[in-house]
Amino acid sequence: MIEMKRWSLIAISALMLLGVSCEKEKTKKEEKFPVLDELAGNYLLETTVKNPDGKSGSSYIQMVSNISGELDLSTSIQLDMAAPVSVIGDDVYTLPGFYATTHTMTKYHREGQELKKVAELPLVANSTGNLVQVSADKAYITFYQLGIIWIIDLKSFTKTGEIDLSSYAHGDKNPEPSIGMVRDGIYYLPLNQGGANSMPYDDYLQSDVLVIDVATDKVLKMISEKKTGLCFPTRPLFNGLMFTNEAKDIWIACTGFFAYNPNYLKNGFLCIPNGSQDFDENQSWDISTTDITGTQYKAASLYNVEYIGGGKVAALVGIAELSGDPLTARNSAACVIDLNTKTITRLSDIPLSNGHSGALLRWKNKMYFTAGGEHAAGIWQYDPTTGEVKQVLNTTADIGKIHAFN
């Protein structure tokens, strides 16, 4: 009996120690990624849980009240893999992805931390694209795989017209309209002009942009930058690749061949100055010959960018030497690009990432980068004033979009 009591005490002590140890481990984990009060707000996240092949899996959208701590996907809404998501005011629109089996655009309305489905609009096959508001009650859907624009009445959520872009295509009938922006009543729409494997044509190394009057829905002209050989202006999934600076100059990031063509690594920036509807070729900058400070590499592609201010741009830069499978390779480096000094600096505390983690957010004087690294994934905060970098959110999924509601 005494022996049994002794062993019982030992067992109880061991369990108590195990409990203390587990509690310490839990505390350590909680301390590593604490929930930060200053990051409380209303955020929309799109995440992707991919299969090993990198081209299949599912994406999800959800509202979160904080972009720090640990991400819980249990309240998310499932979408097609890498489905385009657009936000206009408190309305969230989802479109079919590149591998979609359904052909519907869905409209959700945000109420606090909830997304409520309010409407659906039937589309056609191969209707991946994006929705951009061009006036108070009107939006354009640019269909990347079809080469057309649908004109949408936002109040009735109906199609009211269509713009055929086939006459502006090179090599086929589809110029691959990407994602554009409005300045002074004009919609500037970059054309990717993709050939085989959605890569640029070898015989067409230039950047084309359509100039569209949003009042009449008429294409006024197509402008082209041919001096630098930069091509593939913007990408259809990220609206940050086209931005205006403090002077209202439009800047366009060109991705080139996504760092996968060793014979063509050109990528960089083009400019349409304020007051003009044409490129200023004197401001074009091919960044492929610029060293990335802190590395032994040069920039081979621009996967996504977000304007910080003062001529500085947050960027996810592709590195050719690290390229492998386009869907799984971790060849994307978080950088800061200075358009004034023509420099590129890597933020080495943010891990190299695969292409599914491609979101950038400028919010309350800070920049937020997403990364899907080999040993860490989530959101990193960068302070442009101090240069401090820290991981604020941890997840096992890839984050493809962050939107902060005011």
**Per-residue model confidence (pLDDT) at position 17:** 37
Q: Bridge partners of 405?
A: 42
Out of 23-37, 66-80, 257-271, least confident range = 23-37
Please give the average per-residue pLDDT across 273-300, as a whole number. Answer: 97
- Is pLDDT above 60 for 191? yes
* Residue whose structure tokens are 């933020």: 347
Residue 356 to residue 324: CA distance in whole angstroms: 14
Average pLDDT, the chain: 91
- Is pLDDT above 70 for 111? yes
pLDDT band at 274 (very low <50, low <70, confident <90, very high): very high
Residue 75 to residue 398: CA distance in whole angstroms: 16
Residue 285 to residue 342: CA distance in whole angstroms: 8
Instruction: Please write the tens of the pLDDT for every residue from 30-50.
Output: 458 899 999 999 999 999 998
**Per-residue model confidence (pLDDT) at position 198:** 78
- CB pairs under 8 A, 24+ apart, for 114-122? 114/63, 115/44, 115/61, 115/62, 115/63, 115/77, 119/157, 121/152, 121/157, 121/158, 121/159
Kindly state the tokens that stand for 406: 């005011």
Instruction: Please write the tens of the pLDDT for every residue from 318-342.
Output: 999 998 888 889 999 999 999 999 9
**Per-residue model confidence (pLDDT) at position 360:** 98
Residue 207 to residue 224: CA distance in whole angstroms: 5
Tell me the whole-structure pTM to 2 decimals.
0.91
Please give the average per-residue pLDDT across 3-7, as a whole number. Answer: 39
Residue 102 to residue 296: CA distance in whole angstroms: 44
